Amino acid sequence: SFTHVDKEPVIVLVTGAAGQIGYALVPMIARGLMLGPDQPVILHMLDIEPAAEALEGVKMELIDAAFPLLKGVVATTDVVEACMNVNIAVMVGGFPRKEGMERKDVMSKNVAIYKAQASALEQHAAADCKVLVVANPANTNALILKEFAPSIPEKNITCLTRLDHNRALGQISERLNVPVSEVKNVIVWGNHSSTQYPDANHATIITSNGDKSVRELVADDNWLKTEFQSIVQQRGAAIIKARKLSSALSAASAICDHMRDWVHGTSTGTWVSMGVCSDGSYGIEPGLIYSFPVSCQNGKWSIVQGLKIDEFSRAKMDATAKELIEEKSTAYTCLELEK
Ligand code: NAD
Ligand code: LMR
């Protein structure tokens, strides 16, 4: 209508935008799947020199798609130009894990990138910029970004475990033969790695007679403690084996889910998993970037408190925390060697 006042565009940075997640993600953002169907966006796409021409091609396709919400596209290899005034930063840039590679192999390549980009964001992004780190090792890259961008509020720095969360919902949906939209409140604790702990103890199925416990409906604790664990933990590796490339469309979709819930809020009684800076909740070392159940309101996340943790869960939650502490020290060793 004529009285409608257009919202100011939100500037969204996507690093590694010429890569395969980038290619799936930027059209989702430009269609409003991340920030809403009435929220105009300006895309800042960063990649490195060898990918500059491909990046230019992505920009051409974005123009050709004539997305009504897309108010501008910057395609650049200049990190300062890319970070300028951004409100949302989705950090996908880096080297992906290939078949046969361990996560530690990708570590040394990627933490140095995150240290450098921390400074660019700190100096040039909008003061309230929300950051989502996707590139692996996602939690530890986010930790390095947080430590080298001390003026960015630590609550604004997160990493992606929503893909693992969605994978867990998907497996329960398949197992119980219910639509995935009716499964809620799984939790992925810890690291976005094979030590993550997918926890269905508090998960429920939404039915017309109220919420029903997944644990009771599955009626097989052994499945929840074994197969369910390994399928979700190993799903990234299974996709790499099948596609010879790491997950991309599901990653892009999870990125949109993560940011949308953070910005627009989660629905009452529902939580999601996000890698966030630990405040010591559930006995997890403060300062680690650890995946917790969170609910979001008014653009802020908070860790869901008071969930009962049994002995099995405790051990799994501590094991994945231990891996993150080790990754942190490996990351610092890599950065030392860089000098
Ligand atoms: P890709 O190789 O297709 O794309 C990565 C892009 O990053 C490339 O275009 C590359 O040129 C670019 N890049 C490299 N260094 C850069 C730098 N310094 N600055 C900007 N861009 C840079 O990889 P992909 O499949 O899109 O995956 C991207 C990352 O996401 C990988 O690290 C992958 O392991 C990770 N990943 C994470 C999750 C998750 O759930 N957290 C899921 C899937 C993939
Ligand atoms: C994924 O979860 O699909 C990616 O993080 C791939 C990987 O490196 O495991």
Q: What is the value of pTM for the model shown?
A: 0.97
Quick: pLDDT tens for 118-129.
999 999 999 999
pLDDT at residue 2, rounded to an integer: 56
Kindly tell me if the per-residue pLDDT of 277 is higher than 90: yes
Does the predicted interface ipTM exceed a cut of 0.95?
A: yes
Q: Establish whether 306 is an annotated binding residue.
A: no
236 touches ligand 2 (CB under 6 Å): yes
* Residue 4 in tokens: 């409608």
**Which residue has its alpha carbon closest to ligand 2 atom 5?**
236
Q: Establish whether 175 is an annotated binding residue.
A: no
Quick: pLDDT tens for 183-235.
999 999 999 999 999 999 999 999 999 999 999 999 999 999 999 999 999 99
Quick: pLDDT tens for 168-186.
999 999 999 999 999 999 9
Q: Establish whether 254 is an annotated binding residue.
A: no
**Which residue has its alpha carbon closest to ligand 2 atom 4?**
236
Told to judge if 192 belongs to the known catalytic residues of this protein, a careful annotator would answer yes
**Which residue has its alpha carbon closest to ligand 1 atom 4?**
19
Distance in angstroms (rounded) separating the CA atoms of residues 26 and 74: 12
- Which of 110, 119, 134 maximizes ligand 1 atoms within 8 Å of its Cβ, making it the mutation to test the pocket? 134
pLDDT at residue 61, rounded to an integer: 98
* Ligand 1 surroundings by CB, under 6 angstroms: 15-16, 18-22, 46-48, 51, 92-94, 96-97, 113, 134-136, 138, 160, 163, 192, 246-248, 251
* Residue 118 in tokens: 């921390």
* Residue 151 in tokens: 């003026």
Hey, which residues does 190 pair with through a beta bridge?
291
* Average pLDDT, integer, range 290-311: 98
pLDDT at residue 101, rounded to an integer: 75
**Which residue has its alpha carbon closest to ligand 2 atom 9?**
236
For residue 247, give every residue at least 6 positions away whose Cβ sits within 8 Å of its Cβ, in sequence order, or none: 163, 235, 236, 239, 240
Question: Which is higher by pLDDT, 211 or 107?
Answer: 211
pLDDT at residue 105, rounded to an integer: 74
C-alpha distances in angstroms, 249 versus 24, 186, 256? 6, 21, 11
pLDDT at residue 99, rounded to an integer: 73
Kindly tell me if the per-residue pLDDT of 328 is higher than 80: yes
